[in-house]
Amino acid sequence: MRLIFADRGHCDLLALVASELQNRPKWWQYTFIPASVSVMVTVDMRSLLLFSAFLRVFLIVYGEWQDKHMEVRYTDVDYFVFSDAADLMASGKSPYERTTYRYSPLLAFLLLPNTFLHRSWGKFLFSASDLLVGVFIYTILKKCSVPKNICTYCVMAWLLNPFTFTIGTRGNCEPIVCAIILWIVICLMNGNLLQAAVWYGLVVHFRIYPIIYAPTLVLVLNHHFFCLGQKPVLRIWSSGPSKKHECSTAATELNVLVAIKCIFSRERIIFGVISAAVFFFSTGISFFLYKWEFLHEALLYHLTRTDPRHNFSIYFYHIYLHYEREFSVLEKLISFLPQFMVQLVLVLRFARDLPFCLFVQTVAFVAFNKVITAQYFVWFFCLLPLILPWSTINFKWKGLCCIFLWMGAQTHWLMWGYLLEFKGKNVFVELWMASLVFLAANTCVLVVMISNHTYSPLFQPLKQNSSEQGLKQE
């Protein structure tokens, strides 16, 4: 961390500060000490990573102590499920003998050292992935010429988010998925189509939800902007908003006929074939080893999951009230329609602005899902730092309002959930209404973010900007 002290009499330094401020998004502010001293605080990325690593190690050690000495455990219940599954795998048995293990056998394989080394191995692995996400965020933003300090602050939004550092240290595996998704973005930014496809196939096998990114990834591989064997031209942050001709290009993506004509490009076919091959290969091996139990628990369960128990989703009470009878096909289609339409429009509208599209897709997917648990929020938290430099939201007060609205709606739901689960009050209706409020809050925040986002395609047209390749941040 660097502290620069300047007296108000030092006009040169203040002029420098003023010019830098002019180019910053409004949400990003310097902190000034009043009176005669101006202070500019900068955070070094290395220090941030070291501090974050130390924090996570401390929490893991503390978690072990709490688990041993207190009745309420720090460690997530899921971590014990993973560990037990890994123990079973280590002894040559199926990990699916462990009830509620509903993940790829790959996860149990990664946690085999829990059995041989130490039971905390998995937590260290997940926390390391968590730190890797921070590094990847920094890398992606630097590639777009985002100033170093803004990059670091965006990384702080991930590394110092209480959701994220508790998720990994409690033993949840979502950081691995987040790291892989960001790595896919980096691969594409580097022009490594094959590697991106392999990792995408693998992450969909590992966790089903990234399948929603398939249309986006296919659309972004437009031949005009991404060519196999050629490094793509990336957007540059300081160049401001997208130019008119790019916007008209973006507008033509809404032309269905043009989209259909361009859809079968070489890059798209290669990406689709390789990622599908990796997915089916991984799934095939898992099926060969663990048969229908794997297929049902790791894949089909997630595709058809409806949980009648209370969760953030607006559908939970509807599902509970109808659980004694099967839903008709029509009812299932109707409930799926809002989700489908939102995803379709978001993809068609924002696909070329890849990080932003992934973000809004994930928020919408989680908000309209049949089951919502707190760990799902990590899916879009890792993408949020990638879009902040292109947001025109003022931290004071629009940004703060969005944060308080979202957290307030969540807290409101948690209050009713507490009364139901821990006080035994029949507040199903109130809890369901709180979930409606939470959906409204998600919708509101999403609309604000869309409205205040500077649309900026990740890849610039190859031919028209070939002369700008020398200006690339790399």
Partner 1 sequence: MEDRRRGRPGICLGLGMLMIAFASSATSEEETPSLDGYSTASDACAVPCREKWVAKAYFDKFGSLEDAAFEHYRDAELTRCSCEMQPLDLRDAFKLSDLDRRLTGDGSHRSLFTSIRISVDEELAAKSPFRFCEVVLVERLPSGVFADPFELQHIRDRGVYGEVAVFGDANLELPSFLSNRTLVEVHMFFSPNNLLEQMNGLEIKVDVPVHARYQALDGSGYSAVQFGEPDVFARCSMEQRSSNQSHFFVLTSNGAAISYKNPIVWKIPSGIETHAGFVSVVTFLSASLSALVIIVASVFHSGIKLHKNVKTL
Binding site for partner 1 (CB under 8 A): 26, 73, 77, 80, 84, 99-100, 240-242, 244, 247, 250, 307-309, 314-315, 317-318, 320-324, 334-335, 337-339, 341-342, 345-346, 349-350, 360, 364, 367-368, 392, 420-429, 432, 436, 439-440, 442-443, 446-447, 450-451, 453-455
Rounded to a whole number of angstroms, the minimum distance from the CB of residue 99 to partner 1 is 5
User: Please, is 464 exposed, middle or buried when counting C-beta atoms within 10 Å of its C-beta (0-12, 13-18, 19+)?
Assistant: middle
| Structure token pair of residue 369 | 């899902």
Rounded to a whole number of angstroms, the minimum distance from the CB of residue 431 to partner 1 is 10
Contacts of 238 (CB under 8 A, 6+ apart): 23, 145, 147
What does the alpha-carbon distance between residue 342 and residue 442 come to, in Å, rounded to a whole number?
13
Taking the CA of residue 398 as centre, how many other CA atoms within 13 Å lie in the half-sphere pointing to its CB? Answer: 15
Residue among 46 and 244 whose Cβ is closer to partner 1 = 244
Rounded to a whole number of angstroms, the minimum distance from the CB of residue 31 to partner 1 is 21
Rounded to a whole number of angstroms, the minimum distance from the CB of residue 141 to partner 1 is 19
Rounded to a whole number of angstroms, the minimum distance from the CB of residue 364 to partner 1 is 6
Residue among 287 and 320 whose Cβ is closer to partner 1 = 320
Residue among 145 and 275 whose Cβ is closer to partner 1 = 145
Rounded to a whole number of angstroms, the minimum distance from the CB of residue 414 to partner 1 is 14
End-to-end CA distance of the chain: 25
Rounded to a whole number of angstroms, the minimum distance from the CB of residue 450 to partner 1 is 5
Rounded to a whole number of angstroms, the minimum distance from the CB of residue 129 to partner 1 is 25
Residue among 227 and 446 whose Cβ is closer to partner 1 = 446
DSSP 243: P
Rounded to a whole number of angstroms, the minimum distance from the CB of residue 391 to partner 1 is 11
Rounded to a whole number of angstroms, the minimum distance from the CB of residue 432 to partner 1 is 6
Q: Between the CA of residue 238 and those of 153, 250, 262, what are the distances in Å?
A: 17, 20, 30
Residue among 190 and 443 whose Cβ is closer to partner 1 = 443
User: Please, is 470 exposed, middle or buried when counting C-beta atoms within 10 Å of its C-beta (0-12, 13-18, 19+)?
Assistant: exposed
Residue among 344 and 400 whose Cβ is closer to partner 1 = 344
Amino acid at 422: F
| 45-52 contacts, C-beta under 8 A, 24 or more apart | 45/138, 45/148, 45/151, 45/152, 45/155, 47/1, 48/134, 48/152, 48/155, 48/156, 48/159, 49/131, 49/134, 49/135, 49/159, 52/130, 52/131, 52/134, 52/159, 52/160, 52/165
Residue among 228 and 444 whose Cβ is closer to partner 1 = 444
Rounded to a whole number of angstroms, the minimum distance from the CB of residue 346 to partner 1 is 6
What does the alpha-carbon distance between residue 172 and residue 107 come to, in Å, rounded to a whole number?
11
Residue among 186 and 433 whose Cβ is closer to partner 1 = 433
Q: Are 139 and 43 in contact (CB under 8 A)?
A: no
H or E element, residue 42? strand 37-42
Helices 329-350 and 354-367, axial angle in degrees (round to 10): 160
| Structure token pair of residue 282 | 């991984």
Residue among 393 and 462 whose Cβ is closer to partner 1 = 393
Residue among 277 and 436 whose Cβ is closer to partner 1 = 436
Residue among 37 and 247 whose Cβ is closer to partner 1 = 247
Taking the CA of residue 44 as centre, how many other CA atoms within 13 Å lie in the half-sphere pointing to its CB? Answer: 7
412 C-beta neighbours (distance < 10 Å), count: 18
